[in-house]
Amino acid sequence: MTDEFAAVVDSVRERVTPDDDERDRLRAATERLTERTEAAVAELPVDADVLLVGSTARGTWLAGDRDVDLFVRFPDDLDRERLEEYGLRIGREVLPDGHEEYAEHPYTVGEFEGFTVDLVPCYDVEDATAIQSAVDRTPFHTEYLEARLDDEIAGDVRVCKAFLKGIGVYGSNLKTRGFSGYLTELLVLEHGGFREFLDAAADWHPPVELDPEAHGAESFDDALVVIDPTDPTRNVAAALSATNVARLQHYARDFLAAPREDRFDPDEPEPLSPDAVRGYVEDRGTTPVALRFEAPDIVADQLWPQLRKSLDGVTSELDRRGFDVFRAEAFADVDDGDEAVLLVELAVPERPRIERHDGPPIHVRDHATGFYEKYEATDAYGPFVEDGRYVVEREREFATAVEFLRSEALFDVGLGAHVATELEDDYEVLVGGEITALCPAFGRDLARYFSPKP
């Protein structure tokens, strides 16, 4: 097995390691980019230095990656408004065809000699605990890793990133909630290699805590805690979901037991055809219901938490009303159609006209009498007595899940704010076979939904 493992990993390493030509091109491009940025900085009334950060700086990028992160580091007494202004001014000068994006503060994204450059202003702070903005940490991360990653480990980092990509858990954005590049590098470094990291992960009993610098100063209740070597109060894995930790464990065991190169290829299923969707709906015997609406025009890291919050709200309320949810998922197609979908698969799509409603215990005389008098003359069944309480069987507010989803009551479930606004504007409810209308836009999401993998 070890030979097989080594053979697969060697082959992958070969594939993901940039060749000399790619390295040379990247080096030349980043040198010119840095010069140009420094020239733009020189025009400003303040001093600032320019740093290459991220995987291109640390030599851990995957062959073919075209992402470059360049930071402009300003004195930490510069006020925030000025920092943002200078940052964007440099961006316009260095990347004239670029556009503005926004995380904690605005930055510029643009093309430069075939690379996609994030040009980000940050503060030059004493250490990572003194940051004014999350990005101020990044230079410390680069510095920490540059001092520790040799070529051997960097190669294993590349293999590990490719593995995490292949199994779908790479990226700390709020859609994926996976492993960031920095986290991956720390994990491989801490365990001494890709194989050692997989061996460890296969046997993890979360919560797992790693503290490379043994200086952790807070406790976290995440499944995986990796104390930032540059900041004792931060968990580098804070954005990682427990499900993705479990997925890593599954695929680590799977790969150790049977190493195969295609595990490094992300699973991109063929989009389902409407007929295939109809086939799944019939085979499962459940009742899928989809809310389709225009995706709010917000960045993905804002959109996904709102979609998930909305989905939670809708499914909890459906469950509470007796419409048992079998499984549910949010989809967003923000590239093409700007549409979003909350798909809720119901095991129980309808209920009887009446529902049981328990009243107070009989011995609480005032409440009990009030309840009895309230229902005595209505057309509810009862009140009768069960387990020491009054019970009535009264008309249910919504006899079907679809009635509820089409009603105003949908807006009481704790939707994400921007999602609520879009739904107030317009939405469509698709039931059962009608969800075939989600093809082709969401055909690949439906393929993943109906063939769920670890």
DSSP 3-state assignment of 339? strand
Whole-number Å distance between alpha carbons of 158 and 136: 25
Q: Is 390 one of the annotated binding-site residues?
A: no
- What would the two tokens of residue 351 be? 């209920």
Residues 311, 330 contacting (CB under 8 angstroms): yes
Residues 337, 309 contacting (CB under 8 angstroms): no
- Which window, 136-144, 308-316, 347-355, 414-422, contacts a second copy (CB under 8 A)? 347-355
The conformation of residue 267, written as its DSSP 8-state character, comes to -
For the bound state, the minimum distance from the C-beta of residue 126 to a second copy, rounded and expressed in Å, comes to 39
Lookup result for tokens 């009887």 = 352
Residues 54, 142 contacting (CB under 8 angstroms): yes
Among 200, 300, 362, 429, binds a second copy (CB under 8 A): 362
Q: Is 172 one of the annotated binding-site residues?
A: no
In the bound state with a second copy, the residue whose beta carbon lies nearer, of 106 and 269, is 269
* H or E element at residue 67: strand 67-75
Considering only residues 392 through 431, tell me which ones interact with a second copy, judged by CB under 8 A.
393, 399
Considering only residues 127 through 186, tell me which ones interact with a second copy, judged by CB under 8 A.
none
- Which window, 74-82, 190-198, 214-222, 361-369, contacts a second copy (CB under 8 A)? 361-369
Non-local CB neighbours of 252 within 8 Å, separated by 6+ positions: 198, 199, 201, 202
Q: Is 319 one of the annotated binding-site residues?
A: no
Whole-number Å distance between alpha carbons of 289 and 430: 6
Residue 272 in contact with a second copy, rule: CB under 8 A: no
Mark 211-250 with x for binding to a second copy (rule: CB under 8 A) and - for no binding.
------------x------------------xx-xxx-xx
Question: Taking Cα atoms as reference points, which of 41, 56, 49, 230 lies closest to residue 122?
Answer: 49
Among 38, 324, 339, 434, binds a second copy (CB under 8 A): 324
In the bound state with a second copy, the residue whose beta carbon lies nearer, of 58 and 177, is 177
- Chain centroid, CA 327 distance in Å: 19
Non-local CB neighbours of 171 within 8 Å, separated by 6+ positions: 178, 179, 180
For the bound state, the minimum distance from the C-beta of residue 285 to a second copy, rounded and expressed in Å, comes to 4
For the bound state, the minimum distance from the C-beta of residue 177 to a second copy, rounded and expressed in Å, comes to 13
Residue 358 in contact with a second copy, rule: CB under 8 A: no
The torsion region of residue 414 among left (phi > 0), alpha (psi -120 to 50) and beta comes to left
Whole-number Å distance between alpha carbons of 364 and 89: 71
For the bound state, the minimum distance from the C-beta of residue 355 to a second copy, rounded and expressed in Å, comes to 8
Q: Is 141 one of the annotated binding-site residues?
A: yes
- What would the two tokens of residue 292 be? 């389709």
Q: Identify the bridge partners of residue 115 per DSSP, sorted by sequence position.
A: 112
Q: Identify the bridge partners of residue 433 per DSSP, sorted by sequence position.
A: none
For the bound state, the minimum distance from the C-beta of residue 286 to a second copy, rounded and expressed in Å, comes to 4
In the bound state with a second copy, the residue whose beta carbon lies nearer, of 268 and 336, is 268
Residue 258 in contact with a second copy, rule: CB under 8 A: no
Non-local CB neighbours of 366 within 8 Å, separated by 6+ positions: none
Considering only residues 274 through 313, tell me which ones interact with a second copy, judged by CB under 8 A.
283-287
- Which window, 92-100, 227-235, 328-336, 357-365, contacts a second copy (CB under 8 A)? 357-365
The conformation of residue 43, written as its DSSP 8-state character, comes to T
Annotated binding site: 55, 58, 67, 69, 118, 141, 161, 170
Q: Where along the sequence are the contacts to a second copy (CB under 8 A)?
A: 202-206, 223, 242-243, 245-247, 249-250, 253, 283-287, 322, 324, 326-327, 347-348, 351-354, 356, 361-363, 365, 368-369, 372, 381-390, 393, 399, 450-454
Q: Which residues carry a binding-site annotation for CTP? A: 55, 58, 141, 161, 170
Summarize the annotated binding site for ATP as residue ranges.
55, 58, 141, 161, 170
- Binding site for Mg(2+), by residue number, is 67, 69, 118
